[in-house]
Amino acid sequence: MTKRHAGQRAADRRRAIPWRQSVQAGLQAATAVVHRMAPRAGQRVVRGREAGYRPWDPEVIGVDTAAERAIIGALRRRGIQGTLLSEEVGETSLGARGARSAAGAEPVYVIQDPFDGSLLYRRGIRAHWFTALGIYGQDGQPRAAGVVDHITGETVLADAAGAVRIARPGARPVPLRPAATASLDGAFLETYLGKSSFLYPTATALRPLFERARFILGNGGPNGFADVASGRIDVYFAWNEALTEVFSAIYIAERAGCVVSHWDGSPVRFRPDIHAVYSLVCSANPRLHEQVLQALQGITPPKGLLP
């Protein structure tokens, strides 16, 4: 087989499954189960995590596993197969089922955060409830990604064609537009501050940047990338975020035209390590990103919940 034919065959495999529609189907399945689930069942602790995996977050509750199973089922029905990297089960095989599992479907990595906001959910606080899902090929390149907000119904999606926002179910997709903010002074920033182990180290380390901001949103995880991509936030700082909270949604920001790098400015690359953690900066545009990196010089990333 010639290189040309091999390349064409690989391209044909990538086109075999409409990636964005598959991501959207997974998010819709998660939404349905979250809205249908009784709070008491969703808040119940159903199991603990395996030793050594996410020791700072040892309990899994009903809504986590229910959303995860719903997504897996939706993806399998659409012929998605490969390796699942999920916040709840860790790393496991994802095998397609049914007639669509053949057809030479490309094996992929599926990265998902089935339900982000579990601690708030357990207390009945209706805020920051998200599901995020990303698909990467074995070549390490993204195929599609999406995040759904279970409170507002908003869905953001990205694939090779671009990144869009669907304000509510049935609404028309609208291209995402990051903010044109050109200066760190007066910018809107976002980083996770929910747990005390994050709050104090992060506020201390980033105080020089925080003091220049107009507003700081204390949220993190996958929707931080969607917030910057949609123009709501100018800069998102992801400190010691797990692989599932980064690569389930980072592609949305990238396809929207945002700039994402490690805190030292080095590029971000996907590698399928469920235990990996990342300290990243996502800015609305290159000019702003340059200012942020300059301001970060000499600042050591806070440790968060990790040793």
Query: 20 and 161 in contact (C-beta within 8 Å)?
Result: yes
Q: Is 12 exposed, middle or buried (0-12, 13-18, 19+ CB in 10 A)?
A: exposed
The predicted pLDDT at position 127 comes to 95
User: Assign residue 40 a region: left if phi > 0, alpha if psi is -120 to 50, beta otherwise?
Assistant: alpha
CATH number for position 276: 3.40.190.80
Tell me whether residue 303 is in a domain.
Answer: no
The predicted pLDDT at position 197 comes to 84
Categorize the per-residue pLDDT at 103 as very low, low, confident or very high, splitting at 50, 70 and 90: very low
Last residue of a domain, one of 175, 208, 243: 175
Are both 163 and 17 inside the same structural domain? yes
Are both 71 and 214 inside the same structural domain? no
pLDDT tens readout for residues 259-288: 999 999 999 999 999 999 999 999 999 999
Full domain range(s) for residue 170: 3-175
| Number of domain units in the chain | 2
Last residue of a domain, one of 146, 175, 204: 175
Are both 133 and 75 inside the same structural domain? yes
The values of phi and psi at residue 78, to 5°, are: -95, 10
**pTM of the entire predicted model:** 0.89
Tell me whether residue 154 is in a domain.
Answer: yes
Are both 163 and 221 inside the same structural domain? no
Are both 144 and 248 inside the same structural domain? no
Are both 124 and 265 inside the same structural domain? no
Q: Is the pLDDT of residue 124 over 90?
A: yes
Q: Which residues contact 264 (CB under 8 A, 6 or more apart)?
A: 293, 296
Are both 22 and 170 inside the same structural domain? yes
The predicted pLDDT at position 101 comes to 46
Rg of the chain (C-alpha set):
19
Tell me whether residue 292 is in a domain.
Answer: yes
CA–chain centroid gap for 58, Å, is 20
Tell me whether residue 305 is in a domain.
Answer: no
Tell me whether residue 306 is in a domain.
Answer: no
Are both 118 and 195 inside the same structural domain? no
pLDDT tens readout for residues 287-299: 999 999 999 998 8
Of all residues in the chain, the percent with pLDDT exceeding 70 is 86
CATH number for position 66: 3.30.540.10
Categorize the per-residue pLDDT at 102 as very low, low, confident or very high, splitting at 50, 70 and 90: very low
CA–chain centroid gap for 99, Å, is 30
DSSP 112: E
